[in-house]
Amino acid sequence: MTPPPGAPAAWITEDVATLPKNIYGVTKLAAENLCELFHRTHGLPCLILRTSRFFPEADDNRETRQSYADANVKANEFLYRRADIADVASAHTLALQRAQAIGFGRFIVSAPTPFTRDDLPDLATNAPAVVRRHVPLYEDVYLRQGWSMFPHIDRVYVSERARTEMGWTPAYDFARVIDVLNTGGDPRSSLARAVGSKGYHAETFADGPYPVE
Protein backbone atom coordinates (compact mmCIF):
# COMPACT_ATOMS: atom_id res chain seq x y z
CA MET A 1 0.00 0.00 0.00
CA THR A 2 3.02 2.28 -0.30
CA PRO A 3 2.55 4.72 -3.21
CA PRO A 4 5.28 4.98 -5.85
CA PRO A 5 7.68 7.95 -5.76
CA GLY A 6 5.96 11.20 -6.74
CA ALA A 7 2.46 9.89 -6.05
CA PRO A 8 0.10 11.35 -3.42
CA ALA A 9 -0.23 9.66 -0.04
CA ALA A 10 -2.65 6.73 -0.02
CA TRP A 11 -6.10 7.07 1.56
CA ILE A 12 -6.62 3.68 3.19
CA THR A 13 -10.18 2.56 3.83
CA GLU A 14 -11.60 -0.91 4.27
CA ASP A 15 -12.26 -1.06 0.52
CA VAL A 16 -8.59 -0.79 -0.45
CA ALA A 17 -7.20 -4.16 -1.56
CA THR A 18 -4.34 -5.28 0.65
CA LEU A 19 -1.12 -6.88 -0.58
CA PRO A 20 0.63 -8.64 2.32
CA LYS A 21 4.39 -8.11 2.48
CA ASN A 22 5.23 -10.94 4.91
CA ILE A 23 3.80 -14.02 6.64
CA TYR A 24 2.20 -11.82 9.31
CA GLY A 25 0.10 -10.01 6.73
CA VAL A 26 -0.75 -13.22 4.88
CA THR A 27 -2.11 -14.89 8.02
CA LYS A 28 -4.16 -11.81 8.94
CA LEU A 29 -5.80 -11.69 5.53
CA ALA A 30 -6.42 -15.44 5.57
CA ALA A 31 -8.13 -15.14 8.96
CA GLU A 32 -10.36 -12.35 7.65
CA ASN A 33 -11.40 -14.47 4.67
CA LEU A 34 -12.10 -17.45 6.92
CA CYS A 35 -14.35 -15.31 9.12
CA GLU A 36 -16.21 -14.02 6.07
CA LEU A 37 -16.67 -17.58 4.79
CA PHE A 38 -18.18 -18.72 8.10
CA HIS A 39 -20.51 -15.73 8.15
CA ARG A 40 -21.64 -16.40 4.58
CA THR A 41 -21.98 -20.16 5.07
CA HIS A 42 -23.28 -20.43 8.62
CA GLY A 43 -24.57 -16.94 9.44
CA LEU A 44 -22.00 -16.44 12.18
CA PRO A 45 -21.92 -12.73 13.15
CA CYS A 46 -18.36 -11.50 12.76
CA LEU A 47 -16.86 -8.02 12.86
CA ILE A 48 -13.22 -7.72 11.81
CA LEU A 49 -11.27 -4.92 13.49
CA ARG A 50 -8.16 -3.79 11.64
CA THR A 51 -6.37 -2.03 14.46
CA SER A 52 -3.70 0.59 13.90
CA ARG A 53 -0.55 0.60 16.00
CA PHE A 54 -1.30 0.78 19.71
CA PHE A 55 1.69 -1.11 21.11
CA PRO A 56 4.37 0.79 23.07
CA GLU A 57 7.35 -1.11 21.64
CA ALA A 58 9.96 0.68 19.54
CA ASP A 59 9.46 1.12 15.80
CA ASP A 60 10.61 -1.79 13.64
CA ASN A 61 12.38 0.57 11.21
CA ARG A 62 16.00 1.18 12.16
CA GLU A 63 16.20 4.58 10.47
CA THR A 64 13.10 5.78 12.30
CA ARG A 65 14.42 4.58 15.65
CA GLN A 66 17.72 6.36 15.08
CA SER A 67 16.20 9.61 13.83
CA TYR A 68 13.36 10.25 16.29
CA ALA A 69 12.65 9.85 19.98
CA ASP A 70 10.20 7.01 20.57
CA ALA A 71 7.50 9.28 22.01
CA ASN A 72 7.96 11.59 19.02
CA VAL A 73 7.34 8.71 16.61
CA LYS A 74 4.17 7.68 18.39
CA ALA A 75 2.82 11.23 18.56
CA ASN A 76 3.39 11.63 14.81
CA GLU A 77 1.62 8.34 14.13
CA PHE A 78 -1.58 9.55 15.80
CA LEU A 79 -2.08 11.59 12.64
CA TYR A 80 -2.44 8.59 10.39
CA ARG A 81 -1.74 5.12 11.84
CA ARG A 82 -1.98 4.87 15.64
CA ALA A 83 -4.65 4.49 18.31
CA ASP A 84 -4.56 4.49 22.09
CA ILE A 85 -5.11 1.07 23.62
CA ALA A 86 -8.12 2.41 25.55
CA ASP A 87 -9.84 3.26 22.27
CA VAL A 88 -8.85 -0.12 20.82
CA ALA A 89 -10.40 -1.84 23.84
CA SER A 90 -13.60 0.18 23.52
CA ALA A 91 -13.84 -0.77 19.84
CA HIS A 92 -13.64 -4.45 20.71
CA THR A 93 -16.27 -4.11 23.42
CA LEU A 94 -18.55 -2.30 20.99
CA ALA A 95 -17.97 -4.92 18.30
CA LEU A 96 -19.16 -7.63 20.68
CA GLN A 97 -22.30 -5.61 21.34
CA ARG A 98 -23.00 -4.74 17.70
CA ALA A 99 -21.99 -7.95 15.89
CA GLN A 100 -25.46 -9.50 15.94
CA ALA A 101 -27.08 -6.42 14.44
CA ILE A 102 -24.40 -5.74 11.82
CA GLY A 103 -23.72 -9.35 10.84
CA PHE A 104 -20.40 -8.92 9.07
CA GLY A 105 -18.02 -6.06 8.45
CA ARG A 106 -14.43 -4.92 8.30
CA PHE A 107 -13.54 -1.84 10.34
CA ILE A 108 -10.32 0.14 10.60
CA VAL A 109 -9.66 1.15 14.21
CA SER A 110 -7.35 4.15 14.15
CA ALA A 111 -7.34 7.58 15.76
CA PRO A 112 -9.46 9.99 13.68
CA THR A 113 -7.19 11.80 11.25
CA PRO A 114 -7.38 15.56 10.77
CA PHE A 115 -6.47 15.09 7.11
CA THR A 116 -8.77 14.98 4.09
CA ARG A 117 -8.29 13.59 0.61
CA ASP A 118 -7.31 17.07 -0.54
CA ASP A 119 -4.22 16.86 1.69
CA LEU A 120 -2.82 13.71 0.08
CA PRO A 121 -0.53 15.33 -2.53
CA ASP A 122 1.03 17.68 0.05
CA LEU A 123 1.43 14.93 2.65
CA ALA A 124 3.72 13.12 0.23
CA THR A 125 5.97 16.17 -0.20
CA ASN A 126 5.62 18.42 2.87
CA ALA A 127 3.79 16.77 5.76
CA PRO A 128 4.78 19.42 8.37
CA ALA A 129 3.00 22.14 6.37
CA VAL A 130 -0.19 20.06 6.22
CA VAL A 131 -0.10 19.34 9.94
CA ARG A 132 0.46 23.04 10.61
CA ARG A 133 -2.73 23.88 8.72
CA HIS A 134 -4.83 21.49 10.78
CA VAL A 135 -3.16 21.63 14.22
CA PRO A 136 -1.11 24.87 14.32
CA LEU A 137 -0.27 24.48 18.03
CA TYR A 138 1.83 21.42 17.25
CA GLU A 139 4.86 23.45 16.13
CA ASP A 140 5.35 25.23 19.45
CA VAL A 141 4.74 22.05 21.44
CA TYR A 142 7.17 20.05 19.31
CA LEU A 143 9.78 22.79 19.57
CA ARG A 144 9.65 22.62 23.38
CA GLN A 145 9.84 18.82 23.27
CA GLY A 146 12.76 18.87 20.84
CA TRP A 147 10.69 16.82 18.41
CA SER A 148 10.08 16.99 14.68
CA MET A 149 7.36 15.93 12.27
CA PHE A 150 8.04 13.33 9.60
CA PRO A 151 8.87 15.11 6.33
CA HIS A 152 6.56 12.81 4.38
CA ILE A 153 3.51 10.68 5.21
CA ASP A 154 2.81 7.94 2.67
CA ARG A 155 -0.61 6.74 3.82
CA VAL A 156 -3.56 7.64 6.02
CA TYR A 157 -5.72 4.99 7.69
CA VAL A 158 -9.33 6.15 7.82
CA SER A 159 -11.61 5.00 10.66
CA GLU A 160 -14.79 6.74 9.48
CA ARG A 161 -16.67 3.49 8.89
CA ALA A 162 -16.08 2.28 12.45
CA ARG A 163 -17.41 5.56 13.77
CA THR A 164 -20.45 5.84 11.51
CA GLU A 165 -21.53 2.20 11.18
CA MET A 166 -20.37 0.70 14.48
CA GLY A 167 -20.81 3.85 16.58
CA TRP A 168 -17.23 3.89 17.84
CA THR A 169 -16.27 7.13 19.60
CA PRO A 170 -12.48 7.27 20.12
CA ALA A 171 -11.22 9.74 22.71
CA TYR A 172 -7.57 10.01 21.66
CA ASP A 173 -6.25 11.72 18.55
CA PHE A 174 -3.33 13.95 17.53
CA ALA A 175 -5.05 17.15 18.63
CA ARG A 176 -5.56 15.70 22.09
CA VAL A 177 -1.92 14.59 22.22
CA ILE A 178 -0.84 18.15 21.49
CA ASP A 179 -3.25 19.69 24.00
CA VAL A 180 -2.05 17.38 26.79
CA LEU A 181 1.64 17.88 25.96
CA ASN A 182 1.04 21.63 25.93
CA THR A 183 0.00 21.46 29.59
CA GLY A 184 2.92 19.21 30.54
CA GLY A 185 0.85 16.04 30.82
CA ASP A 186 1.21 12.47 29.59
CA PRO A 187 -0.91 11.98 26.44
CA ARG A 188 -1.33 8.25 27.02
CA SER A 189 -4.51 6.90 28.58
CA SER A 190 -4.40 5.47 32.08
CA LEU A 191 -4.88 2.04 30.52
CA ALA A 192 -1.87 2.51 28.24
CA ARG A 193 0.26 3.50 31.22
CA ALA A 194 -0.97 0.54 33.27
CA VAL A 195 -0.49 -2.08 30.54
CA GLY A 196 2.96 -0.90 29.49
CA SER A 197 5.12 -3.01 27.20
CA LYS A 198 4.55 -6.76 27.04
CA GLY A 199 7.06 -7.49 24.29
CA TYR A 200 6.82 -9.97 21.45
CA HIS A 201 9.44 -12.61 22.17
CA ALA A 202 11.26 -14.05 25.16
CA GLU A 203 14.53 -13.47 23.33
CA THR A 204 16.22 -10.19 22.41
CA PHE A 205 17.12 -9.36 18.82
CA ALA A 206 20.13 -7.38 17.65
CA ASP A 207 18.11 -5.01 15.47
CA GLY A 208 14.61 -4.03 16.48
CA PRO A 209 11.92 -5.49 18.75
CA TYR A 210 11.18 -8.44 16.43
CA PRO A 211 12.28 -9.92 13.08
CA VAL A 212 10.72 -8.04 10.16
CA GLU A 213 11.25 -10.65 7.45
* 10-residue averages of pLDDT along the chain (213 residues): 86 94 93 97 98 92 94 98 98 98 98 99 98 98 98 98 98 98 97 81 55 54
Whether 4 is in a domain gets the answer no
Whether 39 is in a domain gets the answer yes
Residue 82 has what DSSP assignment? B
Whether 203 is in a domain gets the answer no
What pLDDT, on the 0 to 100 scale, is given for residue 21?
85
Buried b (16+ CB within 10 A) or exposed e, 57-96: ebbeeeeebeebeebbbbbbbbbbbbbbbbbbebbeebbe
What pLDDT, on the 0 to 100 scale, is given for residue 203?
58
Whether 3 is in a domain gets the answer no
What pLDDT, on the 0 to 100 scale, is given for residue 187?
97
- What residues contact 84, with CB distance under 8 A and at least 6 apart? 54, 111, 170, 171, 172, 188, 189, 191, 192
Domain count, the chain: 1
Whether 208 is in a domain gets the answer no
| pTM of the model as a whole | 0.90
**How far is C-alpha 67 from the chain's CA centre?**
20
Helix axes 138-145, 70-77, angle to 10 degrees: 170
Greatest Cα-to-Cα distance within the chain, rounded to the nearest angstrom: 56
Whether 183 is in a domain gets the answer yes
Whether 1 is in a domain gets the answer no
Report the CATH number at residue 35.
3.40.50
Tally: H helices and E strands in the chain = 10, 4
Give the domain extent around 110: 10-195
Whether 206 is in a domain gets the answer no
